[in-house]
Structure 1
Amino acid sequence: MKKIKILALISAVATVFLLLAFFSSLSKPNEAPKTGVLVAAKNIEANVPITQDMITLSELPSEVILAGTLSDANLVLGKVAKSVIIAGEQILQEKLVLAGESKETDLNYAVDPGMRAISIAVDAVSSLSFMITPGNHVDIIAQYEMKSANDQPIQVAKVLAENLMVLAVDSVLAETGKSGLEDATYTTLTLQTTPDQALKLSFSENVGVLRAVLRSPLDETITKLPNVTIDQILAN
Structure 2
Amino acid sequence: MSPIRLIILVGAAIAAIAAAFLVRNMAQAPAPQAPAPVVETQEISQTRVLVAKRNLQVGEMIVPEDMRWADWPESNVLNTYSTEAADPDAMEKLSGSIVRIPIYEKEPIMDTKLVMKGDTGTMAALLTPGMRAIAVEISVESATGGFILPNDHVDVILTYEVASGSSGGSGDDKMPITKTILQNVRVLAIDQVYTTDEFGGATQIGSTATLEVTGEEAELIAYSERRGLLSLSLRSWSDVGEGESRKARSDLLNSAGDTLMESGVVVYKNGQPDTPSRPWGR
TM-score by length of 1: 0.56
In structure 1, C-alpha distance between the alignment counterparts of 2:73 and 2:248, rounded to whole Å: 58
In structure 1, C-alpha distance between the alignment counterparts of 2:179 and 2:233, rounded to whole Å: 12
Summarize the alignment of residues 58-207 of structure 1 with structure 2, pairs less than 5 Å apart: 59-60=73-74, 66=82, 67=87, 68=90, 80-81=100-101, 91-97=108-114, 104=118, 106-147=122-163, 148-149=166-167, 150-152=169-171, 153-175=174-196, 178=200, 184-207=204-227
Contact 1:38 1:58 in 2 (8 A): no
In structure 2, C-alpha distance between the alignment counterparts of 1:192 and 1:38, rounded to whole Å: 32
Structure 1, 102-111 or 191-200: larger mean CA deviation: 102-111
Q: Runs of 5+ in structure 2 lacking a partner?
A: 1-42, 52-57, 59-70, 92-98, 252-257, 261-271, 278-282
Q: Runs of 5+ in structure 1 lacking a partner?
A: 1-30, 40-46, 48-56, 70-78, 83-89
Percent identity at matched positions?
Answer: 26
Structure possessing the higher radius of gyration over alpha carbons: 2
Change in 2 beyond 3 A, CA 1:133/1:228: farther
In structure 2, C-alpha distance between the alignment counterparts of 1:215 and 1:231, rounded to whole Å: 31
User: CA shift at 1:175, angstroms?
Assistant: 3.3
Letter in 2 for 1:96: K
Root-mean-square deviation over aligned CA pairs: 4.2
User: CA shift at 1:217, angstroms?
Assistant: 1.5
Contact 1:156 1:228 in 2 (8 A): no
Letter in 2 for 1:124: V
Letter in 1 for 2:189: A
TM-score by length of 2: 0.48
- The DSSP-based 3-state class of the residue aligned with 1:204 is helix
- The DSSP-based 3-state class of the residue aligned with 1:124 is coil
In structure 2, C-alpha distance between the alignment counterparts of 1:221 and 1:228, rounded to whole Å: 28
Structure with the bigger percentage of strand: 1
In structure 2, C-alpha distance between the alignment counterparts of 1:93 and 1:136, rounded to whole Å: 30
User: CA shift at 1:115, angstroms?
Assistant: 0.8
